[in-house]
Amino acid sequence: MIRLENVTKVYARGARPALDDVSLEVERGEFVFLVGASGSGKSTCLRLVLREERPSAGKVFVAGRDLSNLSSWKVPELRRKIGIVFQDFRLLPNKTVFENVAFALQVIGKRRHTIQLEVPEVLEMVGLGGKEKRRPHELSGGEQQRVAIARAYVNRPPILLADEPTGNLDPTTSMGIMRLLDRINRTGTTVVMATHDEDTVNQWRRRVVELSDGHVTRDQAEGTYDSSRRVRDMTPAPDAVTVGDA
């Protein structure tokens, strides 16, 4: 579903590359944690997949498409296949919950009756049924993130990217968000989640890809946040690629 082939990304000429010869493959329906310290290249990975950035060298394939020769007018089409969730939610403060989710469909030209049908359904799914008329500032952090997830998922994209979605949330709320992402993953959606949240990663035991200074230093099925614990766990890696392919 997502494949990086020997990707190098250098932002400023002469600077240390944000990604250095990274190769990574994520299968359809997989759930992958992208872990690593700040500046290790997690966000760059996500930005490359969204084609917000182009690699300095190497190739990025998303849903079978080579992004390096994707013309810019086809980028919107690509992004309709990818949902994205951020740490800071990025909701529109002057729109209600319903309008925030509907916005994602409006701007890609969906019909009104489709929106009237889809939005309540996805809000129900993320557990916000009955809060359609609230504005973001009237909601808790966890609820706001659910709205953001609803917005990312309402168009049923085959890929969902999450950039530290639990970064601003307490552990209990994070757990709720993770359950939601897991549920979305079970519908066959490929989920890639960049995170710092050690507890979550350790609890969920999914494939973990660790980045450090722009290199992939670990790629482990059912992994944990720390590579030190891997030694204890000794989890075999290979068959992880098919996990969650439901």
Partner 1 sequence: MRAQFILGEIGSGLRRNLSMTISVILVTFVSLTFVGAAALIQMQIGKLKDDWYDRVEVTVYLCPNDSPAPTCAAGEATEDDIAGLQTVIDDELGEQVERVYVESKADAFAAFQERFPDGYMSVPLTEDDMQASIRLKLVDPETDYVVVSDVLTGRPGVESVEDQRAIFEPLFLALNRASLIAAGLAGVMLLAAVLLITTTIRLSAFSRRRETSIMRLVGASNVFIQLPFLLEGAIAAVIGALFAVGGLYVGVQYLVTDWLAQSVSWVAYVDGTDVLFVAPALIGIAFVLAAISSVVTLRRYTRI
Query: Which residue, 123 or 152, has its beta carbon nearer to partner 1?
Result: 152
Q: Which residue stretch of 16-24, 30-38, 110-118, 198-206 sits at the interface with partner 1 (rule: CB under 8 A)?
A: 110-118
- By CB under 8 A, is residue 37 in contact with partner 1? no
Query: Which residue, 79 or 215, has its beta carbon nearer to partner 1?
Result: 79
| All residues at 6 or more sequence positions from 186 whose CB lies less than 8 Å from its CB, including other chains | 244, 246
Query: Which residue, 37 or 92, has its beta carbon nearer to partner 1?
Result: 92
Total site size for partner 1, rule CB under 8 A: 28
- Supply the minimum distance, in Å, between the C-beta of residue 78 and partner 1: 7
Q: Which residue stretch of 16-24, 100-108, 120-128, 186-194 sits at the interface with partner 1 (rule: CB under 8 A)?
A: 100-108
Q: What is the number of alpha carbons within 13 Å of residue 147 lying toward its C-beta? A: 30
SS3 132: coil
Q: Which residue stretch of 2-10, 148-156, 190-198, 235-243 sits at the interface with partner 1 (rule: CB under 8 A)?
A: 148-156
Distances (CA, A) of 51 to 25, 44, 77, 180: 17, 10, 11, 26
- Supply the minimum distance, in Å, between the C-beta of residue 106 and partner 1: 5
- By CB under 8 A, is residue 155 in contact with partner 1? yes
Q: How far apart are the first and last CA of the chain?
A: 15
Q: Where are the alpha helices (DSSP H) in the chain?
A: 42-49, 75-79, 97-106, 112-125, 141-153, 171-186, 198-204, 227-233
Between CA 147 and CA 150 the distance in angstroms is: 5
- Supply the minimum distance, in Å, between the C-beta of residue 137 and partner 1: 14
- By CB under 8 A, is residue 135 in contact with partner 1? no
Tell me which of 99, 103, 158, 215 binds partner 1, using CB under 8 A: 103
- By CB under 8 A, is residue 151 in contact with partner 1? yes
Tell me which of 12, 107, 231, 246 binds partner 1, using CB under 8 A: 107
What are the φ/ψ torsions at residue 170 (nearest 5 degrees)?
A: -75, 165
Between CA 36 and CA 107 the distance in angstroms is: 34
Distances (CA, A) of 54 to 51, 64, 183: 6, 17, 31
Tell me which of 112, 133, 179, 229 binds partner 1, using CB under 8 A: 112
| All residues at 6 or more sequence positions from 151 whose CB lies less than 8 Å from its CB, including other chains | 83, 91, 100, 101, 103, 104
- Supply the minimum distance, in Å, between the C-beta of residue 200 and partner 1: 23
β 159-163/190-195 pair status: parallel
Positions in 47-86 near partner 1 (CB under 8 A): 50, 72-73, 75-84
Binding positions for partner 1, rule: CB under 8 A: 50, 72-73, 75-84, 90, 92, 103-104, 106-112, 115, 151-152, 155
